[in-house]
């Protein structure tokens, strides 16, 4: 009986979450939402693929797109609690990727350094089957190759190649990964 209550709660929360996204102008299929509803602000374009899962048990996620910005999320993407995804220009997250809890993905610094150096948003691209560990920060202009794993608390600035384990601040390649074609992270 308890399991049925949990399943019914997840179903109702997912229906509410999907309605929230659609009412805010997002193009999406059913969203599985476990825990708190995310904070969602959409003044741009948000397209989300099939089987998107967002968890907010401890802290809600925040998803924001600014005017004329786009956020493209592929199929089978999982975003864990407390994650922040904020697009001022363009953020793309590939199929099968996983975003760890309290991670942040931004394509803008949102503030000018000084009058001579205004902030310029730069697109962020995260490949397919990428895993961002807990607390990873992905900075504007970053590109992460397919099947790459970024270790917890790392800061991604620039490009990371496909099929590597990267760690540190800034994140650097520490290991090449042997990933066969077609393999999906569980």
User: How far does CA 143 lie from the centroid of its chain?
Assistant: 13
User: d(Cα 28, Cα 22) in Å, to the nearest integer?
Assistant: 7
Are 25 and 41 within 8 A, CB to CB?
A: no
> Residue ranges of the alpha helices (H) in the chain?
2-23
* CA within 13 Å, CB half, 76: 11
**Active-site option among 66, 111, 117, 147:** 111
The CA distance from 59 to 112, in Å, is 29
- Catalytic status, residue 117: no
Tell me the catalytic residues.
111
């Amino acid at each position: 009986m308890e399991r049925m209550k949990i399943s019914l709660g997840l179903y109702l929360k997912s229906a509410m979450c999907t309605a929230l996204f659609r009412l805010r102008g997002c193009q999406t299929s059913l969203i599985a939402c476990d825990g708190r509803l995310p904070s969602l602000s959409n003044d741009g374009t948000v397209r989300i693929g099939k089987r998107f899962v967002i968890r907010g048990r401890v802290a809600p996620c925040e998803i924001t797109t600014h005017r004329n910005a786009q956020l493209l999320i592929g199929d089978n993407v999982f975003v864990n609690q407390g994650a922040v995804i904020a697009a001022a220009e363009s953020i793309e997250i590939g199929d099968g990727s996983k975003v760890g809890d309290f991670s942040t993905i931004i394509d803008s610094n949102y503030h000018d350094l000084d009058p001579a150096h205004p902030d310029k948003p730069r697109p962020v691209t995260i490949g397919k089957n990428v895993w961002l560990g807990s607390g990873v920060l992905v900075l504007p202009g970053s590109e992460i190759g397919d099947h790459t794993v970024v270790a917890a608390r790392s800061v991604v600035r620039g490009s990371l190649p496909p099929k590597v384990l990267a760690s540190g601040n800034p994140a650097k390649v520490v290991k090449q990964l042997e990933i066969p074609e077609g393999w999906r992270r569980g």
